Amino acid sequence: MARAAYLLAASVCLALAFPAAAQTKERKDDEPVQSRSGGRGGAARRSAPRPAAADSAQAAPAAAAAAPASQPAKKSETAPAKKAAPPSDSKTATGAAKSSDEPKASAAAAHPSNSSPDDDDDADRSARRSWRQDISARVPLVRRGSFRLYMGGLIQTQAAIWVGNDSALQDGDFADTEGFRVRRARLGFSGQLLPDVKFYLALDLKDAVTAATGGSVGSEILDATVSWNRFSFLQIAAGVDRMPFSGYALRSSGRLTLIDRPFMVNVISPNRRVGVRVYGQLGDLGYAAGVYNGTDGITSGNRLAGLAGAIRLKYDLLGAPREFVPTKLRIQVAAAYVYENGQSTTSHRAAFNLAAQAFRTRLFGEFLWRRSTPDAEPGGDPDAGDATTWGVAGQLSVFVWSEHVEVAGRYEYFRDNNAVLTAGRQQLISGGVNVYLCRNRFKLQGMYMRRDELEGAEIKNDIVFAQLQAMF
């Protein structure tokens, strides 16, 4: 009796469930029919009477529908799927994808000035340009035809935790007193005008306090270039940009291992200039050469006359140091020279640097040299004669926990004038810890810098400070 009741209940459940399952199967079978014209539904529709004028046009599809269901059915379902999107749309989508990568791929092939060990990840390596820009604009804004426009930004907020009593921004220190400072707030725009013509614009947003901006007042243009990137071995750019000289200076501010660059870079390396440069990549050899104004003006032109010429060569001995967390040995060497005929002085500058990485460790060292000669004979003042300034800095960093925690140290020796004993001969010892929350896009850095004046009175200008960075 119990067994009969069990069989009756099972029969009722199956009777109720079968229509629902059948309806679900019908809906699943019918849904593809709405999105493609082939399949079983297509054959059913083709069996309906059609106008005589369309009979000849439908002969082939009708024959395909009447064929055996195994092979022809697959063809009838597959072919319409390819035609689901209009050919123009598919080509546009493919072109858009390729075009969006063109500014990145072409520039990645030509990287003459510096392959920094501070690169982010595969996305940043693909977006690497021949010049290391502070802002890797990757947020798409406009894609219309061959035109592309991308945006990016960099925000660095610093907290001076402990500052020596004699520290001063105008003397090259990072802060005057304890407190907070927005070190950098920058916006960048890059894109493509034509398949081989790119542009880049970067703005530095500042306040109007002269001491807080290192001598400049208010917001300013950092970079504004238009470039032709048809070939990886020969590219041309015009506008305002970094001169191809110091490896530290060419490295993006958002990818520095320590919070800021060595002191010698701000003194010896030329700043951004307006000019024209050619650059490219020939196998493992990269080059950049250009002619620039002899002054730092941008929109005001070359007011103080004079021109400057620059050339930089870099060679990858064991591949360019490009990994965020090093896993293999890579070595790169570079050298640069700048000649500048200024309004009242003629100067020569030289730079040599070595970049290496291996087994979670990154090393970067650089030597900078400058000799300035006045055009007129000085009036007996030794400070007014020939001046030779040089400096050397070495930096070592190690990832101690995955890709999230890195410790770094740097030693720097600087001499402002070999001919005169001044307080400019000094050494700077720095140490720091980096916490990468999302690699270089979002990170927290802490740094201590000890600055020793080796001639004259000791100045109390050591500093402990931290920085929070967001970059997109």
Q: Is residue 51 part of a domain?
A: no
Sign, CA dihedral 288-291-293-299, equals negative
Which amino acid would we find at residue 430? S
- Would you say 300 and 273 are in contact if contact means Cβ atoms under 8 Å apart? no
Q: Based on the structure, what is the number of domains in the chain?
A: 1
Q: Does a structural domain hold residue 5?
A: no
Quote the pLDDT of residue 101. 41
- pLDDT tens digits along 47-68: 444 444 444 444 444 444 444 4
270 with 312: CB under 8 angstroms?
no
75-79, 285-289, 310-314: the lowest-pLDDT one: 75-79
Question: Residue 414: which pLDDT band, with cuts at 50, 70 and 90?
Answer: very high
Q: Please tell me the predicted confidence (pLDDT) of residue 380.
A: 52
Structure tokens at 415: 């001499």
| Chain mean position to CA 65 | 55
Q: Rounded distance, CA 360 to CA 402, Å? A: 9
> Which residues partner with 463 through β-bridges?
163, 449
Q: What percent of the chain has pLDDT over 90?
A: 51
- Dihedral sign for Cα 124, 127, 130, 134, please: negative
Q: At what angle do helices 59-66 and 39-46 cross, to 10 degrees?
A: 120
Closest CA to 410 of 389, 386, 393, 433: 393
Determine the Cα–Cα distance for residues 195 and 346; give it in Å rounded to an integer.
Answer: 41
**What's the CATH code of the domain at 292?**
2.40.160.10
pLDDT at 103 over 50: no
* Residues in a beta bridge with 157: 182, 468
Read off the pLDDT of residues 331-385 as tens digits, 9 standing for 90 and up: 999 999 999 987 778 999 999 999 999 999 999 999 999 999 887 665 555 555 6
- Indicate if the pLDDT at residue 400 is higher than 80: yes
Per-residue pLDDT, 437: 96
| Residue 417 maps to a domain | yes
Angle, helices 39-46/71-82, rounded to nearest 10 degrees = 100
Average pLDDT over the chain, rounded to whole? 76
Three-state secondary structure call for residue 108: helix
Report if residue 299 sits inside a domain: yes
Residues forming a β-bridge with 274: 240
pLDDT at 52: 42
Highest mean pLDDT among 213-222, 267-276, 411-420: 267-276
pLDDT(16) > 50: no
- pLDDT, tens digit, 9 for 90 and up, residues 106-149: 333 333 333 333 444 433 333 334 446 778 888 999 999 999 99
The answer as to whether 370 is a domain residue is yes
pLDDT in tens, 281-290: 999 999 999 9
Tell me the pTM: 0.72
pLDDT tens-digit profile of 202-225?
999 887 555 444 545 567 889 999
User: What is the pLDDT confidence band of residue 386, given thresholds at 50, 70 and 90?
Assistant: confident
Least confident of 91-95, 294-298, 465-469: 91-95
Range of the domain at 295: 99-471
Encode pLDDT of 142-190 as tens digits: 999 999 999 999 999 999 999 999 988 888 888 889 999 999 999 999 9
Alpha carbon distance 366, 247 (integer Å): 7
Question: Rounded mean pLDDT of 11-23?
Answer: 43
Q: Are the CB atoms for 119 and 251 separated by under 8 Å?
A: no
Residue 122 lies in a domain: yes
pLDDT at 3 over 70: no
Mean pLDDT of 259-280: 94
Q: Within a domain: residue 262?
A: yes
Nearest in space to 391 (alpha carbons), one of 360, 372, 413: 413
Interatomic CA distance for residues 243 and 253, integer angstroms: 15
What confidence tier does 314 reach under pLDDT thresholds 50, 70, 90? very high
Task: Identify the residue with better confidence: 247 or 122.
Answer: 247
CA distances from 187 to 154, 220, 283 (A): 7, 11, 33
What pLDDT does 407 receive?
98
Task: Name the phi and psi angles at 261, rounded to 5.
Answer: -75, 165
Sign of CA dihedral 202, 205, 206, 208: positive
Does any domain span residue 128? Answer: yes
